[in-house]
């Protein structure tokens, strides 16, 4: 508390927000905590504005809405959505709808799913679909996924499959993991479109769409799977590396698979590369090395590290 107060007195807004937030609130007391939050908010700290909005919305809506508006005016997406929900809770629908439009037009990709979910909960399905479709058409993976799920919940499963087909064939998608590919293939199967999908996915894979391959592998066995997966990786889809590792292992090329994974680890080509390699070691009966790797990682050059 002593050091936080000293930092706050030097106008460190992060220290002020700490002093105004749990667990320090119980030590500083409500009045001091609130004072620091307001001081930080006056200095432009958006998280202080958010805290003030949360803390006062039930007891003093005009005060809380004032800070949420000020925060939302900075263009910060979370505060914009906070304000939207607070305005709706206070029956200020006209202003609420204005902020819905502002957030939708803002380009905050990470907020569109949350906005659409909130709209759907209110039964405003057409608006939720409108915003998701806008960003799905730009190739945003999360928007595509949320839109496909929304359409399926609405009983429009064939349209959900079309969302993925359009995104893949347009070459707009930024990335796709095996997990996402499995999810899409399940939707395709539920829609009863596995046969048709296999055909357009095959064409897409042949036309240099790196993400079509992973879905195709989930739907059906293909004789040239390895060459298609290698093409997918060469086109920038590092998420296809685990699929190639599986193919190499199933064709008795574990040494090649291990070399690929060690190279991948050094490049950190995909987020769960470490876990993929640890499971590889365990599958091949090298549990002690797997434990060493889990604890110490790898050395430069790709060798499993050990205590120095």
Domain boundary assignment for the chain: 119-221, 240-308
Is pLDDT at 26 greater than 70 in this prediction?
no
Q: Please say whether the beta carbons of 277 and 293 come within 8 A.
A: yes
Is pLDDT at 289 greater than 70 in this prediction?
yes
| pLDDT, tens only, 209-251 | 888 999 999 999 989 999 999 998 888 888 889 999 999 999 9
Please give the class, per CATH, of domain 119-221. mainly alpha
Higher pLDDT: 51 or 147? It is 147
**pLDDT bucket at 290, cuts 50 / 70 / 90:** very high
Question: What torsion, rounded to 10 degrees, do the Cα atoms 12, 16, 21, 25 define?
Answer: 140
Residues 8-12 have a mean pLDDT of 94
The dihedrals phi and psi of 101, each to the nearest 5 degrees, come to: -65, -40
Q: Please say whether the beta carbons of 160 and 148 come within 8 A.
A: yes
Element (H, E) at 237: none
Residue 285: which residues within 8 A CB-CB, separation 6 or more?
A: none
Residues 19-37 have a mean pLDDT of 79
């Amino acid at each position: 508390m002593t050091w936080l107060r000293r930092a706050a007195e030097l106008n460190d807004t992060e220290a002020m927000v700490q002093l105004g937030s749990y667990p320090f609130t119980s030590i500083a007391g409500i009045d001091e905590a609130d004072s620091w939050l307001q001081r930080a908010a006056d200095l432009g700290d958006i998280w202080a504005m958010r805290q003030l909005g949360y803390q006062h919305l039930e007891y003093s809506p005009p005060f809380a809405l004032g800070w949420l508006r000020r925060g939302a005016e900075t263009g910060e997406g979370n505060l914009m959505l906070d304000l939207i929900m607070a305005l709706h809770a206070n029956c200020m629908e006209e202003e609420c709808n204005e902020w819905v439009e502002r957030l939708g037009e803002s380009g905050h990709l990470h907020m569109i799913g949350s906005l659409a979910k909130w709209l759907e909960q209110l039964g405003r399905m057409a608006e939720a679909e409108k915003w998701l479709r806008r960003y799905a058409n730009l190739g945003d993976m999360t928007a595509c996924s949320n839109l496909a799920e929304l359409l399926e919940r609405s009983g429009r499963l064939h349209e959900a499959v079309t969302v993925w087909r359009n995104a893949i064939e347009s070459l707009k998608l930024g990335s796709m993991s095996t997990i996402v590919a499995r999810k899409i293939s399940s939707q395709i199967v539920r829609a009863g479109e596995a046969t048709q999908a296999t055909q357009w996915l095959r064409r897409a894979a042949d036309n240099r769409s790196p993400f079509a391959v992973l879905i195709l592998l989930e739907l059906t066995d293909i004789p040239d799977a390895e060459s298609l997966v290698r093409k997918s990786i060469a086109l920038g889809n590092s998420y296809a590396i685990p699929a190639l590792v599986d193919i190499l292992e199933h064709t008795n090329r574990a040494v090649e698979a291990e070399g690929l994974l060690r190279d991948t680890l050094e490049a950190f080509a995909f987020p769960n590369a470490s876990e993929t390699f640890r499971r590889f070691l365990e599958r091949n009966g090298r549990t002690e090395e797997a434990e060493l790797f889990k604890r110490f990682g790898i050395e430069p050059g790709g060798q499993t590290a050990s205590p120095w």
